[in-house]
Amino acid sequence: MIFVFCMKPFRIKSIGILSLAILAACSHKHTVPPPDLAKGKAIYEATCKTCHGVAGEGNQQMKSPALANLDGDYLLRQFRNFKNNVRGGVQADTLGNQMATIAKTLNDTLLIRDVIAYIDSMPQVKSMERLSGDWKNGEQIYQGLCGSCHGPEGKGNVKLNAPQLNGLSSWYLRSQFNKFKNGYRGVNPNDKYGVQMAAIVTVVKESQSVEDVITYLRSDIPVAK
Q: Give the C-alpha separation, 59 to 72, whole Å.
A: 20
The answer to whether the beta carbons of residues 181 and 202 sit under 8 Å apart is yes
Of 3-11, 17-25, 77-85, 123-131, the segment contacting ligand HEC by CB under 6 A is 77-85
Which parts of 170-199 interact with ligand HEC (CB under 6 A)?
173, 175-177, 193-194, 196-197
68 binds ligand HEC (CB under 6 A): no
Which parts of 78-117 interact with ligand HEC (CB under 6 A)?
78-79, 95-96, 98-99, 102, 106, 115
Largest separation between any pair of C-alpha atoms in the chain: 91
**Cα 7–chain centre separation:** 57
The CA distances from residue 206 to 49, 90, 141, 148, 218, in Å, are: 36, 25, 12, 21, 19
Closer residue to ligand HEC, CB minimum distance, 21 or 199 = 199
41 binds ligand HEC (CB under 6 A): no
**Cα 76–chain centre separation:** 6
> What does the binding site for ligand HEC look like in residue numbers (CB under 6 A)?
47-48, 50-52, 62-65, 67, 70, 75, 77-79, 95-96, 98-99, 102, 106, 115, 145-146, 148-150, 160-163, 165, 168, 173, 175-177, 193-194, 196-197, 200, 204, 213
